[in-house]
A and B are shown apart, each in its own frame.
Chain A
């Protein structure tokens, strides 16, 4: 494929675990922005959420499995994002990415705000959608 298209400056390798609604959308966004995206999911059916234009890689597999992560290219990844439905699965995969594979940027979704606080204190960049969404609703209704 030499010379077919200009290589995007700052092109990043991004591994996303969980092709959930958020995962699928995020993968499509990074892909459209010209990054190299790999999405992992246990269920092939989840990949229906990817748009037909998606040019990245979709892999069936468990993101808490070291070998699977290697297959997904974690060793060359610039960022890893854990977005499965299970908080604990996300926490485990994110820690493997961060501490075993030394991925530069690791972000983890943790629904449970208490658990999120603990892992944030331990140095894992985490987001609790529960907190974010409740806060958003509160802001809208309380301060219109």
Chain B
């Protein structure tokens, strides 16, 4: 087995519970911090002594939880502001190497990244991405967000009326932080394009970009 980690989870709701269960079975050391007594009792009944009662935003509570030796902190409460503060206190006061936060309002993903949270998970955005993949006409599909960075991989379909049709990639007005990484064309093997690769109708392309540049990218590639 890989190295066993000490993982602190703030919030003992459904996500906190199933996450702990999975991480414990992988052999990691897990501690859940939960404010409500009854939730704590239920967690302890199910998972053994792995729960501490307290407010995960309080420095004293986090200190008692031994946060300074934690490898990862995961904030899973339903309040974004609490998740943010827990992660920031963990990072700056206790030097936890990796902080992961659940984000309830999808807008906050970007804000949290800017404020130094290493990884964010938005249930709403995750579901939306699946909806996007089901609808073939949808312009931009989010495939992956690079951990700890603002970069992401997206997929686009070049439609008939896209301004990019018939143009070499070098001539497209792409944002500076954006690269077309792969072109997929029916009947051909996916290939890494060069500046002189000409895009055709129905090409599917994988693009490396950032959240900020998405809009500009859409403008230069979508009708």
Contacts and interface: CB of A to CB of B under 8 A. Distances in A.
B55 to A, nearest CB: 10
Contact of B85 (A67, A91, A99): A91
Interface string A86-124: 111101100110011000000000001011001001100
A65 interface: yes
A96 B80 CA distance: 13
Contacts of A86: 81
A92 B107 CA distance: 13
A88 B111 contact: no
A126 interface: no
Contacts of A88: 57, 79, 81-82, 84-85
B59 interface: yes
A115 B60 CA distance: 10
Interface string A62-89: 0011110000000000000000001111
Interface majority SS (helix, strand, loop, mixed), chain B: helix
A65 B93 contact: no
Interface of A: 64-67, 86-89, 91-92, 95-96, 99-100, 112, 114-115, 118, 121-122
A84 B92 CA distance: 24
Interface string B125-165: 00000000000000000000000000000000000000000
- Which secondary structure dominates where chain A touches chain B? helix
Interface of B: 57-60, 79-82, 84-85, 88-89, 92-93, 105, 107, 111, 114-115
B105 A115 contact: no
B89 A118 contact: yes
Given A65-B105, A96-B111, A115-B59, A122 B88 contact: yes
Given A88-B57, A114-B59, A115-B59, A100 B79 contact: no
Contacts of B114: 99-100
Contacts of A91: 81, 84-85, 88
A100 B111 CA distance: 8
21 contacts: A64-B81, A66-B111, A87-B57, A88-B57, A88-B81, A88-B82, A88-B85, A91-B84, A91-B88, A92-B80, A92-B84, A95-B84, A95-B115, A96-B111, A99-B114, A100-B114, A114-B58, A114-B59, A115-B57, A118-B93, A122-B92
B89 A115 contact: yes
B7 to A, nearest CB: 22
A100 B115 CA distance: 9
A114 B57 contact: no
B87 to A, nearest CB: 11
